[in-house]
Structure 1
Amino acid sequence: MEIRKGKFLKEYSIKKRLSHINYADVIVSFVVVAVIGLIMIPLPSFLLDFLIIINITIGINVLLMTLFTKSVLEFSTFPTLLLITTMFRLGLNISSTRLVLTQGNAGHVIDAFANVVAGNNYIVGAVIFVIITIIQIIVVTNGASRVSEVSARFTLDAMPGKQMAIDADLNAGIISEEEAKQRRSDLQREASFFGAMDGASKFVKGDAIAGIIITLINLIGGILIFSIGQGMEITEALSTFGKLSIGDGLVSQIPSLLISVSSGIIVTRSNDNLTFGGSISGDLFKNPLIMWIVTIVLITLALVPGFPTIPFLIVAACFAAIGYFLKGKEKSEIAAAKKAKQEQALIRKEQEMEEDESVASFQVEPISIEIGYALISLTDETMDNSLMRQIVNIRKQCAHELGVLLSPIRIRDNLQLAPNDYCIKIKGNEVARGDIYPTKYLVVNPDTDQVTLDGIPTKEPAFGLDALWVDEGTKEFADLNGMTIVEPVTVIATHLKEVIYQNTSELLGRQEVKTLLEGIKDRYNVVIDELIPDILRLGEVQKVLQNLLKEQIPINDLVTILETLADFGTMTKDAELLTEHVRQSLKRTIVKQYLTNDDSLYVITLSPTVEDMLTKNIQKTSTGSIPVLKPEIITAIFDNLNTIHQQLVAQGLNHVVLASPNTRLVFKKLISYNFPEISVLSLNEVPNEVSIETCGMITVDHAE
């Protein structure tokens, strides 16, 4: 029992140790020992061919790895690998020398290299071999060795400063403890790498020198052995062993050159987190102007007598194409950068607008939009047609058309709303509501005799028109049939704009008026200083501006408004009378929106009876002047006005009601609730050059 238990524990211990063994380590260990064994063990020619091909493959693989690494730390085993590959090549050199001196043959690979490179002239092969060796020793290896030495020195000198920078970032909380450990480890590995490369580059230099010596041994030894010992003629021996020696040297030096170039590439790389190809393409091909200058130079050389024209023109065309491509890429990058800059500016602007939210969170917003959770995607600022961009455009449009600088419009999600619903609030009170489908399109007035569409019936929220929400496929069909198609974001934006235009007077507070005045004070400070506060207070100016906005009259001609108030403000403080005076000063601005193409104004007039009744029944209240008429008279006026109005709408005529200056305001107040779309002008608000066309007259059959 004890014997079986001990045997079991022993086997378990062996299995446990084996489970921790890395098989890659075992394989590498055997390979390293086998490399050393090449020096002592003779190899047959077919196996030597196989190992020579592996040697060339290793050289190509190492070169490609250095081209695709982004940092020296990604190939930190390169110095050790340099030693192993050097020993491998030397072992192959010794094995090939043994075959050359004993059999006068070193396999197919060496023979192929000798015939391809040297051909029938081994002197040419010798020259090529010498050139490759000189390039490797003097140019590549010496340069890489020097770069490694300088890099190691500067890396070691910079370590204390880099360590302090890591500690500073750690203390400032910029990086974590784990990141700091990783950076310290990378710094130490980088210093160790360049230090090791400084010594490892000597292996390559020694390998090149050894290759020359081995080649000379193959040449001299082969000639002596086979000419003296085996009776081969000197010329034949010289030709045979010249080719074999050159082939053996090339087979050895070409992989060695690949490794040397790899070492040069890896020690001269900058840690820019880019591969070699990415770095060099970004540096060489980033300026189209340089490409075009090179093109001009090449074309000039092509025109020089005696120079080959066609090759120069072909290369010039290539560089011109590269320059054209880079110019297009540069324009697209500039456009993308400009777009990104605009987006960042928009984001910063929105952030600035929200900075005071924490301070004044208890205050209601002048205007805001609340949306259901299904509509949140419409506020994505990365979209070209996002709701945020539409709101910015609406604010600009209001400033241009009405002369009003709106306060920032807030967008909030409201879980109490249905997923597809939204509501518009003014000063915390809901004034409009609608529902949209963010993945569908709105087709307005879809009912026709020729076409029937499938969709969700609805009403267009801004104007109450019949509409359908349709899918992408139906939308394309509707578009082909000439129907009006509106995107979901545009539906909200249009509704918001109409709400703003209908309630602009409520959004114009004293602060907004002060901002408007400050905007023109630099150029028109005289009229502002004369008017406020000596003639009118800021609140009285605000009431006049609000009265104008209530009837959709823009106030962007603020100078004319202020000068009129300064002229008449000394005679009256009544906001209604001051508003009528201002309207008369703005008569061209008021009338132009109702004129036809031939500058005619179509009007509905008031009969003398109606004018007289209105004049006699004006009553002053705290909210202004209102008409006090009998219900039957008001009903008669409304019926008469509605009949004429519907007839003119059917004819497509834009029209207004024309009244006397004394009755204009009270008549507008009388019909404002039932006919908010009908404008009322006074005779003094129509310029003399405008032609008036009477389309009807409002009369009543009842007299007071």
Structure 2
Amino acid sequence: MSAMANLIRLPQQFMGGKQFKGLAGPVLIILILSMMVLPLPAFLLDLLFTFNIAMSVMVLLVAMYTMKALDFAAFPAVLLFSTLLRLSLNVASTRVVLMHGHTGPDAAGKVIEAFGHFLVGGNFAVGVMVFIILVIINFMVITKGAGRIAEVGARFMLDAMPGKQMAIDADLNAGLIGEDVARKRRTEVAQEADFYGSMDGASKFVRGDAIAGILILFINIIGGLVVGMLQHGLDFSAAGKTYTLLAIGDGLVAQIPALVISTAAGVIVSRVTTDEDVGRQLTGQLFSNPQVLFLTAGIIGLMGLIPGMPNLAFLLIAGGLGYYGYRLAQRKPQQQRAAEAAAAAQATAAPSVDAAEATWDDVALIDPLAMEVGYRLIPLVDQSQQGELLGRIKSIRKRIAQEIGFLVPVVHIRDNLERGPNTYVISLKGVEIGRGEAFPNMWMAINPGQVTGTVPGTPTQDPAFGLPAVWIESNLRQQAQIQGYTVVDACTVMATHLNHLIQTHAAELLGRQEVQQLLDQIAKTAPKLTEELVPKVLSLSTLHKVLQNLLEEEVSIRDMRTILDVMAEHAPTVKDATELTSLTRLALSRAIVQQLFPGDSELQVMGLDASLDRVLQQALTSNSGIEPGLADNLLREAQAAVERQEQLGIAPVLVVQHGLRVLLARFLRRSIPRLKVLSHAEIPDSRHIKITATLGGRV
């Protein structure tokens, strides 16, 4: 089986490789010349005439998409081959018309019949006039204008060549460019000179084709009369009508593509000297733009839908072009990424001799906070497409600054084609901290735990809090809301996830620069407080650590006056950041409790069993840490108690002795981050406590 597979793949590799591109030119020439000698059936003539029309439209579209003259260096060869193709088709159709024209108007195929009847209404006099007008337009207007442009362009190009060569030599001598760049620029100048010099000669193909079209028309009419009357016994009227309409259809089907090619000759280049042969230029340049293939397929497909036209031939060509364009469009991004990777590897492995020296400006620092999005999420962040995510992020930064007390860094958003099309990734200092998927024009129905039914859609999870959810279509939004779902759009999903991660990692986002900016803000209203404290009494590093400790425990640092007052009072004698944090929490205790239990209601909290409290106090005193078995039991009981508190709608808060708070807060925060640990000293005297659960009864 493997041997057979290799035999099958070998022709495919050969056909898709460079060998086939190199053979394209000679094979095409042989086929065109063969059509002048071998008889062709009517259906094959239809296909070839349709291909000739499609080829002319493609050449014109390529000419319009070309950015500069040398981008379509194969145009002279295309012009030659298209002219030979039309002439060979004229010879083949003339043979069929003269041999089988007496059998009816479709003797030479449906395309010639359609052009002879549909386009000119079956009137041979009108057909002759239309044909002559097309020839005059082609011969007197377009071809003559293109020849004049080529003549003037060649004259100016030749006059400018010495100056361009001297400019290249001057840049090389000054060290502005290297030898390779100079050689490349000299080659381009020579190619441009060849192009403008050959354009005048290339236009002669079209002019000669127009003259040949007129002669072929009259040869077909006269030859048809002779053959029809002398060989097939037709009267003059029947022979004249039949063969004249066939000759007109044959002439129009050849002259319309010639007119299109002539138009392309006025806007595109002629044959120039390149490193590629004609076959590679044809296959590599003419069929390399998917947009050209799609537009050509659409035009040919629409022509095939016109009543009276040969639908099979046109739609067959249109389908083939559309399929090839689709396959080419799929391969384009992969080829482009591969080329960029190869170019990057080459640039790092073998840098150019004229490359600039590396500087500190080339050092790319990591963004503190960044988001990468897949290509389908780009409309959400593109303001020109009414994307709302950037505005949401601005609101998030403003709200977080008001809530936690400092301005988080700007979120840098970039697209990444290597990510999934609907995937977004949020990173902190270059490290991924969260990812999710969002679907524009769809809605996420989040199950808060009390829904009354189900909605059809794609099951998922809320990326911020892990709640079960479903991606639904827009028409199911109202139904989901009625059933108790919380329904949000894709932009809100991403913004909520980002907001949650920023709050979770607020301590890491607070750097020394942000701390200094906070001090600068305080100095505007209380300059003495900051001048006497930092750095005379308290170092910036210690203050930074204290603020990070507070943020890790989700304590707002908005009240910087109180925090600095505590630092000014205790920093001369207390140097440990953890102890300073505990003292600061005592000063902020009212705000901490208010955040967890709004209003003046009773505090329903969890407590420690007396025996467990004594064990933990001994571990703290001896500095031996919590035993593994005790730690496991404590975690299990705390997890169960937290779930019961949340089911009752009560904030999960554990109250312990002041000395144990830091130990238990650090220990429990790793496994149960939503559990908050307070000390009895942090609870104001005005608030009443009710113990709803006790930990350690079974320890």
TM-score after normalising by structure 2: 0.47
Q: Which has the higher contact order (CA 8 A, sep 6+)?
A: 2
Q: Which has the larger radius of gyration?
A: 1
TM-score after normalising by structure 1: 0.47
